[in-house]
């Protein structure tokens, strides 16, 4: 990636285009699901249960994968005021054959599964795919990355991608750009792996302050970025990642001659 803002520091900047993996199961959603789906195949699992919000990329990708693999899918959706007609993604997920259960936000917090199921033939995938399985699923992505990057930057939702990269690439400093105000949760998630993770740096200073309102500066950045580099990004994850990266460059965070990799985790649907 070329940009005149890198010249004063002689930064070498690369982008890993995981958004190009698949048009529906994009980026880290495929990276995370891969290991779960392999387990499902190996253990003759015919049913998957998972959780998500109404706009979750995770359940959208999972619904498509289960349709293709002919696995029964039950999705527990946050918000009992919703229905399959609440947005085009939920309608599409329903059309792909998933069963949707809309539960109250309170019940959702407890991750209550509102029906009986046979645990021998069912795999429960946690919200956003975060678990040791999701983290170890990042081995594949990590293998595709050279070991000599000084810095790797990635968007953070649950931290699955971040932690997986940090485990598999101990020689790089992994910068997690947080989109949600969940720094404590991410730190707890890191601790679950019993490591101090000296190679993780969390950035929560770029989180949208005016949550819910449109950030026109960030939207404009995404459009300008697309026009300049022909790479689509969106405000929630990857747009914020690239925007924050240029801020960090300006703040002189990266030493001269650093070799830097930005992971494009996808998310365009
Ligand atoms: C889901 C998602 C993330 C968050 O990934 P985690 O592994 O949960 O931290 C980041 N970027 C995009 C585009 C996503 O869809």
Of all residues in the chain, the percent with pLDDT exceeding 70 is: 98
DSSP collapsed to 3 states, the chain: CCCHHHHHHCCEEEEEEHHHCCCCCCHHHHHHHHHHHHHHHHCCCCEEEEEECCCCHHHHHHHHHHHHHCCEEEEEEECCCCCCCCCHHHHHHHHCCCEEEEECHHHHHCCCCCCCCCCCCEEEECHHHCCHHHHHCCHHHHHCCCCCCCEEEEEECCCHHHHHHHHHCCCCEEEEEECCCCHHHHHHHHHCCCCCCCCEEEECCCCCCCCCCCCHHHHHHHHHHHHHHCCCCCCCCHHHHHHHHHHHHHCCCCCCCCEEEEEECCCCC
Counting from 1 in the atom list of ligand 1, the atom nearest the Cα of 32 is 7
**If you average pLDDT over every residue of the chain, what do you get?**
95
Minimal-distance CA residue to ligand 1 atom 15: 267
Is residue 134 within 6 Å of ligand 1 at its C-beta?
no
Residues in the chain: 269
Q: What is the mean pLDDT of the segment spanning 240-244?
A: 97
For residue 189 and ligand 1, the question of a CB distance below 6 A is answered with no
Q: What is the pLDDT of residue 210?
A: 59
pLDDT at 208: 79
> How far does the centroid of ligand 1 lie from the alpha carbon of residue 8, in Å?
31
- CB of 103 closer than 8 Å to CB of 80: yes
> What is the average per-residue pLDDT within 127-156?
96
For ligand 1, atom 13, the nearest C-alpha belongs to 267
> What tens digit of pLDDT does each residue of 7-48 get?
999 999 999 999 999 999 989 999 999 999 999 999 999 999
Per-residue model confidence (pLDDT) at position 269 = 73
Report the C-alpha gap between 151 and 89 in whole angstroms: 35
Task: Find the 121 Cα to ligand 1 centroid distance in Å.
Answer: 28
pTM for the model stands at 0.94
pLDDT at 212: 54
pLDDT at residue number 107: 94
Q: Which residue has the higher pLDDT, 99 or 26?
A: 99
Please work out whether the CB of residue 266 comes within 6 Å of at least one atom of ligand 1.
yes
Task: Give every CB contact of residue 167 below 8 A, 6+ residues apart in sequence.
Answer: 135, 138, 193, 195
Q: Is 254 a residue whose pLDDT tops 90?
A: yes
Residue 1 is predicted with a pLDDT of 94
Dist. CA 260 → ligand 1 center (Å): 20
pLDDT, average across residues 90-108: 97
* pLDDT of amino acid 195: 74
Q: Examine the pLDDT at 139 and tell me if it is beyond 70.
A: yes
Question: For residues 246 and 9, is the Cβ–Cβ distance under 8 A?
Answer: no
* Nearest protein Cα to ligand 1, atom 14: 267
Give yes or no for a contact between 35 and 71, defined as CB atoms under 8 angstroms apart: no
The per-residue pLDDT for 216 is 86
Q: What is the pLDDT of residue 213?
A: 60
Percent of the chain with pLDDT over 90: 92
């Amino acid at each position: 990636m070329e940009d005149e803002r890198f010249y004063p520091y002689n930064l070498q900047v690369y982008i890993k285009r995981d958004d190009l993996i698949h048009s529906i199961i994009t980026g880290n959603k495929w990276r995370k699901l891969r290991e779960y789906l392999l387990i499902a195949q190996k253990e003759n699992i015919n049913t998957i249960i998972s959780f998500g919000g109404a706009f979750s990329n995770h359940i959208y990708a999972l619904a498509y994968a289960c349709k293709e693999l002919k696995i029964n899918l039950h999705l527990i959706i946050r918000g009992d005021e919703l229905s399959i007609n609440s947005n085009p993604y939920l309608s599409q997920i329903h059309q792909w054959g998933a069963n949707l259960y809309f539960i109250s936000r309170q019940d959702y917090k407890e991750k209550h599964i509102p029906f009986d199921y046979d645990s021998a033939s069912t795999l429960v995938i946690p919200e956003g795919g975060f678990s040791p399985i999701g983290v170890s699923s990042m081995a594949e992505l990590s293998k595709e990355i050279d070991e000599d990057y000084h810095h790797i930057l990635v968007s953070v939702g649950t931290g699955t991608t971040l932690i997986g990269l940090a485990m598999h690439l101990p020689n790089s400093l992994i910068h997690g750009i947080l989109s949600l105000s969940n720094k404590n949760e991410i730190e707890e998630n890191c601790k679950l792996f019993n490591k101090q993770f000296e190679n993780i740096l969390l950035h929560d200073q770029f989180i949208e302050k005016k949550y819910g309102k449109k950030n026109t500066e960030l939207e404009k950045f995404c459009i300008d970025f697309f026009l300049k580099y022909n790479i689509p990004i969106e405000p929630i994850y990857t747009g914020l990642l690239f925007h924050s990266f240029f801020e960090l460059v300006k703040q002189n965070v990266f030493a001269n001659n650093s070799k830097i990799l930005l992971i494009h985790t996808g998310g365009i649907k």
